[in-house]
Amino acid sequence: MIPTPPGLEYALSVHLDMVPGSLQRIEAVPGGGARWSINVGGGCFSGPRLRGRVLPGGIENPHLRPDLALMINARWLLQEDDGTVIYVQNRGIRRGHTPAKMRAWMTRSEPVTADDFYFRVVPTFETSAGAHAWLTEHIFVGVLGERPPELQSPMPGPTMHYFRVL
């Protein structure tokens, strides 16, 4: 008998804006590849139970492995409209469905869509007790999404859609 997998419930979407010119490549990573660093300059988020802005000062430090998989390591702060600050840490993986697509994205900054990649993260949320404590009491998964046209930015970053595992 195959067990029934848990369901998912949409929780929120986060649209990041990156700091122009902050992308840095860090060489000589143990195990090969390169680590990158890019600063988060802001953004916004919303979902059925919360809404607010991404605070400036977050950072993404992905590790590009020799097999062209990008190991995600990102940390940022969300500020809910009620003033609550929520710390988010994401770990995950991004890889192109084909090595050629991944190389084109990395070397020529060619535009891509969420369909071009397998991109999954497992976030953890930290916040004070209260209305948003439910974020600290569940497991979530995130997937890369498309930024809506009305939220365009001069330095758009990734859009992540998060789902609570039921």
Task: With respect to residue 1, please indicate whether it lies within any of the assigned structural domains.
Answer: no
149 SS3 class: helix
Task: With respect to residue 156, please indicate whether it lies within any of the assigned structural domains.
Answer: yes
Task: With respect to residue 2, please indicate whether it lies within any of the assigned structural domains.
Answer: no
Per the structure, the complete domain to which residue 87 belongs is given by 8-165
Q: How many domains does the chain have?
A: 1
Task: With respect to residue 64, please indicate whether it lies within any of the assigned structural domains.
Answer: yes
Residues 47, 127, 76: CA angle, nearest 5 degrees: 70
Q: Are 45 and 86 in contact (CB under 8 A)?
A: no
- Digits of tens for pLDDT over the chain (166 positions)? 999 999 999 999 999 998 988 888 887 667 777 888 889 999 999 999 999 999 999 999 988 888 888 899 999 999 999 999 999 999 999 887 777 766 666 655 555 667 778 899 999 999 998 999 999 999 999 999 888 888 888 777 889 999 999 9
Task: With respect to residue 3, please indicate whether it lies within any of the assigned structural domains.
Answer: no
The residues, any chain, with a CB within 8 Å of residue 32's CB and separated by 6 or more, are 65, 66
Task: With respect to residue 18, please indicate whether it lies within any of the assigned structural domains.
Answer: yes
Task: With respect to residue 110, please indicate whether it lies within any of the assigned structural domains.
Answer: yes
Q: Whole-structure pTM over 0.85, yes or no?
A: yes
In eight-state DSSP terms, residue 124 is E
Task: With respect to residue 39, please indicate whether it lies within any of the assigned structural domains.
Answer: yes
pLDDT at 110: 56
For residue 155, give the CATH number of its domain.
2.40.160.20
Over residues 71-106, the pLDDT tens digits come to 999 999 999 999 999 999 999 998 877 777 666 666
